[in-house]
Amino acid sequence: GRPTSIHTQRVLWALADADLPYELTLASATMGPQGHVSKGGTPFGVVNTPAYLAMNPNGTVPTIDDNGLVLWESNAILMWLALRHAPDLLSGDAQQLARAVQWMTWINGRVEPLLHTLVMELVRLPEDKRDPAKVEQARIEMLDALGMLEACLADRAHVAGNRFTIGDIPTGAAVYRWLVFDLERPSMPKIAAWQARLAEHKGFCLHVAPREFHLAG
Ligand SMILES: N[C@@H](CCC(=O)N[C@@H](CS)C(=O)NCC(=O)O)C(=O)O
C-alpha cells in the first residue's frame, strides 16, 4: 500500500495498535514519492505486475499476505486482523460488532465517494483541472452524512458503543481527512470529542494524524 491511502491507513492503524510486526511494500498506480500522476509524479508501481494482480486482481491497495492468507478490501483485512490477532477490536458483543460493520459499510458507500472528490479537487489534481462546484457539492453532502454520525455519538463514546472497535478505524480515518481540509463547517462537538479519543491510539498517531498523508499530492 501507500501511506497516503485512506484504505492502507486503516490496516496500518490496526497493525500498530495490536503491535503486530509487518513489512510495507510501497505500491500504487496513481501516487508516488512526488505525488499524483496527474501532476507528473511517478507512481510507486507494483500494483500492475502479474505477481500483484494474482494476489489482488483489482490492482488497488491495500493487499495483505498474512502467512499465506492473501486478502484485499481493507474492511475484510481489519476483520481478519481482529479475529486472528486482536479480538478486543470485535468488542465481545454481537450487537456492537454488527453496528461496527454497519458503520464500516456506511463510510465506504456514503462518505468515501465524497472524500475522493474532495482529495482530488483540493489536493491531487493540477489547479487548472479543479472544479469548485464539485467541492461545494461534496461539502454539502458530507455535512449531511456527518450529521448522522454526530447524532450517533450523542449517547456513546465510539461508533458501535462505548468500546473502541474495528468500526472506529475506517470512520475515524475518513472523518480525520475531512477535518484536515480547509472547508467551512459547523462545529460537531461529539465528533470532535470522539476524534480526541481516537488520537490516544498509537496506530492513529502514526498512520493517520500526520497531515502530509492527506495533503501531499
Ligand atoms: N474498497 C477498497 C478500496 C481500495 C482503493 O480504492 N484503494 C485506492 C487507494 S485509497 C487505490 O488503490 N488507488 C489506486 C492506486 O493507488 O493505485 C478497500 O477498502 O480496500
Give yes or no: residues 108 and 183 share one domain: yes
Q: Does residue 96 have its Cβ closer than 6 Å to ligand 1?
A: no
The Cα 98–Cα 90 span in angstroms is 9
Q: How many CB atoms lie within 10 A of CB 206?
A: 16
Which residues are registered as beta bridge partners of 70?
Answer: 65
pLDDT at 12: 98
The boundaries of the domain holding residue 209 are 89-215
Question: What's phi and psi for 50, nearest 5 deg?
Answer: -55, -35
pLDDT digits (tens, 9 = 90+) for 3-42: 999 999 999 999 999 999 999 999 999 999 989 999 988 9
3 state SS of 68 = coil
Give yes or no: residues 175 and 203 share one domain: yes
Q: Does residue 97 have its Cβ closer than 6 Å to ligand 1?
A: no
**Which domain CATH number covers 166?**
1.20.1050.10
Are 143 and 186 within 8 A, CB to CB?
Answer: yes
Q: Is the pLDDT of residue 139 over 90?
A: yes
pLDDT at 69: 98
User: Once rounded to an integer, what is the mean pLDDT over residues 146-154?
Assistant: 98
Q: Does residue 73 have its Cβ closer than 6 Å to ligand 1?
A: yes
pLDDT digits (tens, 9 = 90+) for 153-197: 999 999 999 999 999 999 999 999 999 999 999 999 999 999 999
**Which domain CATH number covers 56?**
3.40.30.10
| Res. 216 pLDDT band, cuts 50 70 90 | confident
Q: Does residue 7 have its Cβ closer than 6 Å to ligand 1?
A: yes
The Cα 172–Cα 78 span in angstroms is 14
pLDDT digits (tens, 9 = 90+) for 94-130: 999 999 999 999 999 999 999 999 999 999 999 999 9
Give yes or no: residues 26 and 106 share one domain: no
Cα–chain-centroid distance for residue 43?
A: 20
Give yes or no: residues 167 and 146 share one domain: yes
In a domain, 133, yes or no: yes
Q: What is the best residue among 61, 115, 169, 177 to mutate for testing ligand 1's pocket, by most ligand atoms within 8 Å of CB?
A: 61
Q: Which of 88, 114, 133 is the last residue of a domain?
A: 88
Q: Which of 43, 60, 88 is the last residue of a domain?
A: 88
Give yes or no: residues 195 and 96 share one domain: yes
Q: How many CB atoms lie within 10 A of CB 214?
A: 24
pLDDT at 108: 98
Helices (H), 46-131: 50-55, 74-85, 94-106, 112-119
Task: Enumerate residues 6+ apart whose C-beta is below 8 A from 144.
Answer: none
Mean pLDDT of the chain, nearest integer? 97
The Cα 177–Cα 188 span in angstroms is 15
Q: Does residue 29 have its Cβ closer than 6 Å to ligand 1?
A: yes
Give yes or no: residues 57 and 113 share one domain: no
